[in-house]
Amino acid sequence: MPSFDVVSEVDMQEVRNAVDQVDREIGNRYDFKGTGSTIELGDGEIKLATSSDERLKALRTVLEEKFVRRKVSLKSLDFGKVEEASGSTVRQVAAIQAGISSDKARELNKFIKALALKGVQSQTQGDQLRVTGKKRDDLQAVIAALKAEDFGVPLQFNNFRD
C-alpha cells in the first residue's frame, strides 16, 4: 500500500552556519560597532541581545536574511517577546521549532480527512504523520494540497513508497 511521511525538520548545521555568519557580520558592520550586539545558538533556541529596539530589529533582519540564503524556513523560528535587560539593553529569544506538535498533527489529520479522497488515511506517529492510500495519485494530491496550505510549520515529505 503506497504511503509517505509528513515531517517538520530543521537542518541544524545550516542553522549553525547562519548564526556564525550573522556573528561575523555584526562584528564587521559599522552600524553594529559599539552596540554590544550578540547572537548565540543554544539548545533549540537562538538568543539575540543588543543595545536598542532598532538594533534588535536590524539583527533579526540579518538573521532572517541568512536563513533564507541557506534555505532554512523562517517558519521554523518562533520569536519570543522583546525583554528589557540590564544596562539599558534588550534581548529576544527565537525558539527553533522542529517536529510536528500534537495540535498541528490533529490539524493536519483533519485537513487530510476534509479532502475526502477515497482510501486515504493519516495517522500520527510521534512527531510525524504517516499518510497511506490505495492510489499513488491520491497521495500526490494530498502532498499538493498540503504544500498549498499554510500550517505555520515547515513541512517535508519523506519515504514515499509504492
pLDDT category of residue 160 using cuts at 50, 70 and 90: confident
In the CATH hierarchy, which fold is given to the domain comprising 12-96? Answer: Alpha-Beta Plaits (3.30.70)
- pLDDT by residue (tens digit) across 103-121? 888 999 999 999 888 888 8
CATH code of 3-8+100-161, in short, is: 3.30.70.860
- Residue 21: the pLDDT is 93
Q: What percent of the chain has pLDDT over 90?
A: 33
Sorted by sequence, the CB contacts under 8 Å of residue 90 that are 6+ apart come out as 49, 50, 51, 52, 53, 56, 82, 83, 84
Tell whether the model's pLDDT for residue 162 goes beyond 90. Answer: no
Supply the pTM of this predicted model: 0.81
CATH 3.30.70.990 domain span(s) along the chain: 12-96
Torsion of CA 31, 34, 36, 40, to 10 degrees: 50
Tell whether the model's pLDDT for residue 161 goes beyond 90. Answer: no
Q: The C-alpha cell of 126 is what? A: 510521534
